[in-house]
């Protein structure tokens, strides 16, 4: 697999992003994802395994890129993650949305929040009334639109789309492919 550049991340990772790992790690992995996308669901455990293996050598960032036209619940799922984030539980909701993706994506769009997301919020110890208020707030909607705008600026047109150290990579087809691209990024960062 070639790690040749497709596009450059705009804007770079900053304080508005949700970050796991040290921001100054040798590898910065940014995913533009859609919570309803089955390919993002398949990538989720691979990314988690890479995070576990690399530990402090990698910083992971997730930016929302809901594909509204083909995934009717992608937007509200992103809103659920961001609303949970306002109570300090962004990554926990992020993980639940992916680990339980096969369940909530079968619900009718009109009931997915009441049927699933409120239960997730409760299981995470969130104030569910505040979560329900925040899920449609201007702050949450603006954050998602900012992520989408950054994806558009970086020429993202599918999910998942990954950037390593600000450069878009072709989607890895396996853990081994992902690992080789990341190891090359680590080698490159330590050679400088």
- Domain holding 36: CATH number? 3.40.30.10
Q: Is residue 8 part of a domain?
A: no
pTM for the model:
0.91
Q: Do the domain assignments include residue 40?
A: yes
Give a yes or no: residue 41 inside a domain.
Answer: yes
Say if 7 falls within a structural domain. no
In order along its 192 residues, the chain shows pLDDT tens digits of: 334 446 777 778 888 999 999 998 989 999 999 999 999 999 999 999 999 999 999 999 999 999 999 999 999 999 999 999 999 999 999 999 999 999 999 988 889 999 999 999 999 999 999 999 999 999 999 999 999 999 999 999 999 999 999 888 888 878 888 888 888 877 776 655
Please give, one letter per residue, the 3-state secondary structure of the chain.
CCCCCCCECCCCCCCCCEEECCCCCCEEEEEEECCCCHHHHHHHHHHHHHHHHHHHHEEEEEEECCCCCCCCCHHHHHHHHHHHHCCCCHHHHHHHHHHCHHHHCCCCHHHHHHHHHHHHHHHCCCCHHHHHHHCCCHHHHHHHHHHHHHHHHCCCCCCCEEEECCEEECCCCCHHHHHHHHHHHHHHHHHC
Write out the residue range of the structural domain in which residue 163 sits: 18-191
10 in any annotated domain: no
**Is the residue at 9 inside a domain?**
no
Domain tally for the chain? 1
């Amino acid at each position: 697999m070639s790690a040749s550049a497709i596009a450059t991340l705009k804007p770079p990772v900053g304080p508005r992003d949700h970050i796991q790992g040290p921001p100054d790690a040798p590898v910065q992995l940014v995913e533009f994802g859609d919570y309803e996308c089955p390919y993002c669901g398949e990538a989720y455990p691979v990314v988690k395994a890479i995070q576990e293996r690399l530990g402090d050598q990698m910083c992971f960032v997730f930016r929302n890129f809901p594909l509204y036209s083909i995934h009717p619940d992608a937007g509200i799922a992103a809103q659920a993650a961001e609303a949970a984030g306002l109570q300090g539980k962004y990554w926990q909701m992020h993980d639940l949305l992916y680990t339980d993706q096969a369940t909530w994506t079968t619900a009718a769009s009109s009931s997915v929040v009441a049927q699933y997301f409120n239960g997730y919020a409760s299981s995470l110890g969130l104030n569910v009334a505040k979560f329900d208020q925040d899920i449609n707030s201007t702050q949450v909607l603006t954050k998602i639109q900012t992520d989408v705008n950054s994806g558009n600026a970086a020429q993202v047109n599918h999910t998942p789309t990954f950037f390593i150290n600000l450069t878009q990579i072709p989607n890895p087809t396996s853990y081994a492919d992902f690992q080789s691209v990341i190891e090359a990024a680590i080698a490159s960062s330590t050679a400088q």
